[in-house]
Amino acid sequence: MDFSLSEEQQAFRDIVRRWVDAEAPKDWMRKLEADEENYPFALWDKLATGGYFGIGIDEAYGGQGGDIIIQMIFARELARTAGGLLWTWGLTSFAGAKSIGLYGTEQQKSRWLPEMAAGRLRVSIGMTEPSGGTDVLGAMRTYATKVDGGWKINGAKMWTTAARVADRILLLARSDKNVEKRHHGLTLFFLDAKSPGVTATLLPKLGMRAMGSCSVTLEDVFVPDNDVLGEPGRAWYMMLPTLNNERIMVGAQCLGAIDGVLEDALDYVKQRHAFGKPIGQFQIIQHYIADIATWQQQTELLLYYVAWLQSLGRECGVQANMLKMVATENAVKAADLGIQMLGGMGYSAETDMQRYWRDHRILRMTPISNEMVRNTIAESFGLPRSF
């Protein structure tokens, strides 16, 4: 067994690490994140100039190519400083481009992928609704009605991150109410976010503040047939195979955050003194460091294992859910201990521990809650569905 990165992968990691330290350092990320009113366009522009939006997009469409392992490496390195601002890249280059690549027609790919790869098209994801995200199908009240040349959409979405600044929203809507099963009759739209009838309103929140999550209302919004992804009514079947990728991306973000926490904690405990000694000499502080380092190793092993299974096309749904749960819980625990070791400075807006904690606390709820993850893991052992 060998889970080490190849020479090429290590070289890519080193390039990204140097770029992140030079172009996206922690103190700048901290300032960008705190500005709730303003999306981090400056980070977006640097990512575009660096060519990073092309990662994972086929070279035939202007991208750089790269599989899930390359995407994982990039996400980990960027999240080490950027934390939740990783999604400046991830919403478009990972989630958006993957959807177009997988479900788009040739014409749709040629139209949108080069724009995304160049950093000229920003994507938001509109799945969750005001009545609930865990039971997203039970809560869905957004309806698409067929009209001449396209569809008319009415409804509301909740927590649509970056919707205020998006060019397109990947939007899930019910297009058929008369279905036997609720995962039937769903359609995925690549909605022009500036269409008449779309209104996005900012929702103030605990972390990832600059990413601007929004409530979105849709009133008689017309979407042309050309902007439907895949076969109308079958969106759920299309989307299921992409869930493992999403779990891997969350795992990589959390691992990057743990990397950031550990390096900041080590720096601090070596230079901060109490009772005439560096606090890193106290046994309990050493144990905190040991705990974080162990969570880092545990997260890395599970992440690499799941990414490896996924890259080979092997079944890994249960392991991907385990990764999501372990990585998100480890990141929050690590940041919490990080705050503790920095004492009052851990709580200060002038250091990054509080940002790592705030940005990653949400990942225990999204994109799937860890309660739901536990449900699905338990079910995979033959236990009856509990809900």
**Residues near ligand FAD, by CB under 6 A:** 125-128, 132-135, 159-161, 205, 208, 213, 362, 365-367, 369, 371-372, 375, 387
- State the minimum distance, in angstroms, from the CB of residue 102 to ligand FAD: 18
- State the minimum distance, in angstroms, from the CB of residue 181 to ligand FAD: 17
Cβ nearer to ligand FAD, comparing 70 with 216: 216
Judged on CB neighbours under 10 Å (0-12, 13-18, 19+), 202 is: middle
From CA 246, how far away is CA 320, in angstroms rounded? 9
Cβ nearer to ligand FAD, comparing 17 with 205: 205
Report the Cα 278 to chain-centroid distance in Å. Answer: 37
Residue 276, CA distances (Å) to 8, 19, 340, 344 in order: 47, 38, 20, 19
From CA 134, how far away is CA 369, in angstroms rounded? 7
From CA 57, how far away is CA 93, in angstroms rounded? 8
Cβ nearer to ligand FAD, comparing 69 with 252: 252
Cβ nearer to ligand FAD, comparing 153 with 279: 153
Cβ nearer to ligand FAD, comparing 24 with 211: 211
Residue 49, CA distances (Å) to 22, 27, 77, 117 in order: 14, 21, 17, 11
- State the minimum distance, in angstroms, from the CB of residue 313 to ligand FAD: 27
Cβ nearer to ligand FAD, comparing 27 with 135: 135
Tell me which DSSP letter residue 36 carries.
Answer: T
- State the minimum distance, in angstroms, from the CB of residue 387 to ligand FAD: 3
Cβ nearer to ligand FAD, comparing 101 with 126: 126
From CA 154, how far away is CA 218, in angstroms rounded? 5
Structure tokens at 306: 């799941």
Cβ nearer to ligand FAD, comparing 75 with 127: 127
Q: Using alpha carbons, select from 386, 359, 383 the residue that is nearest to residue 372.
A: 386
- State the minimum distance, in angstroms, from the CB of residue 257 to ligand FAD: 15
- State the minimum distance, in angstroms, from the CB of residue 61 to ligand FAD: 24
Note the residue count of the chain. 387
Residue 16, CA distances (Å) to 211, 257, 352, 368 in order: 22, 16, 20, 29
State which residue has the least CB distance to ligand FAD: 133
From CA 69, how far away is CA 308, in angstroms rounded? 7
Alpha-helical segments (H) within the chain: 7-23, 26-34, 41-49, 68-82, 87-89, 97-103, 106-117, 136-139, 235-239, 243-271, 283-311, 317-342, 353-361, 370-379
From CA 279, how far away is CA 8, in angstroms rounded? 39
- State the minimum distance, in angstroms, from the CB of residue 11 to ligand FAD: 33
- State the minimum distance, in angstroms, from the CB of residue 48 to ligand FAD: 21
- State the minimum distance, in angstroms, from the CB of residue 241 to ligand FAD: 18
Cβ nearer to ligand FAD, comparing 128 with 319: 128
From CA 1, how far away is CA 49, in angstroms rounded? 38
Euclidean distance between the first and the last CA atom of the chain, given in angstroms as a whole number: 39
Cβ nearer to ligand FAD, comparing 69 with 153: 153
